[in-house]
Amino acid sequence: MKPMPKLVPSVFPRAVVRATILGDVMKNYGLPDNVIHIAQTGLMAGDFTGITFTGYAPSGAFRERSTLSFDTLTENDNMTMNVTDGRSMVEALSRKLAHAVAASVGLMLQQRLRIHYTFLIAQHVNAFEICRKYGLEPATSQSQDVPQGRLLFEVRPGRDRGITFSHYTSE
């Protein structure tokens, strides 16, 4: 019997880990691949700092909101991540973050909310130029006028304190 090779953790640049986490989270909310690609490209370019998902009831009323945000990278160091056995990058970074994302998505799906997304644009760039660069529509007043709500939970993974995932509810 031949010995089985042992799988070891892989080393990734922190920027790649963050872009992958952004894509994984967006996929869980049901966003299409082309939108995920835009978000990842914008994050890697420093144009986007995260994304907000807002859940609306059929009446149009705000119910739930979650935000995944990233602090600016001062240094693109490497991270060792164990993505063996089919683990997502989110789970490899932090199980607590993975549970928070799953809980947030579950709350919105359970209530059958319409999920809207808004990219968070970096402060140092012109929002209209960024919208044009990525073929996006500027945010509507509906997405800008949504109340913050009551904080239900917030997670900052210990392995990357520059990532924050928060979930707010109207109730």
The 10s digit of each residue's pLDDT in 71-116 is: 988 777 898 888 887 788 999 899 999 999 999 999 999 999 999 9
pLDDT band at 10 (very low <50, low <70, confident <90, very high): confident
Average confidence (pLDDT) over 125-130: 89
Pick from 117, 96, 95, 99: which is nearest to 107 by CA? 99
* 1 falls within a domain: no
pLDDT band at 2 (very low <50, low <70, confident <90, very high): confident
* 20 falls within a domain: yes
What is the pLDDT at residue 6? 66
Pick from 23, 13, 18: which is nearest to 46 by CA? 18
User: Which tokens belong to 171?
Assistant: 């109730």
* 98 falls within a domain: yes
Contact in structure between 115 and 55 (CB atoms under 8 Å): yes
Whole-number average pLDDT of the chain: 89
**pLDDT single digits (tens) 29-80:** 999 999 999 999 999 999 999 999 999 999 999 999 999 999 988 777 898 8
Whole-Å CA distances, 104 to 53, 58, 83, 153, 166: 10, 18, 23, 9, 9
Q: Does 5 have pLDDT greater than 70?
A: no
* 5 falls within a domain: no
What is the pLDDT at residue 141? 40
What is the pLDDT at residue 96? 96
Q: What is the CATH number of the domain that holds 36?
A: 3.30.900
pLDDT band at 171 (very low <50, low <70, confident <90, very high): confident
* 3 falls within a domain: no
* 62 falls within a domain: yes
H or E stretch at 19: helix 14-28
Distance of alpha carbon 130 from alpha carbon 121, whole angstroms: 8
Query: How many domains does the chain divide into?
Result: 1
pLDDT band at 142 (very low <50, low <70, confident <90, very high): very low
- Domain region containing 160: 10-169
What is the pLDDT at residue 139? 67
* 163 falls within a domain: yes
Angle at 109 between CA 107 and CA 111, to 5 degrees: 70
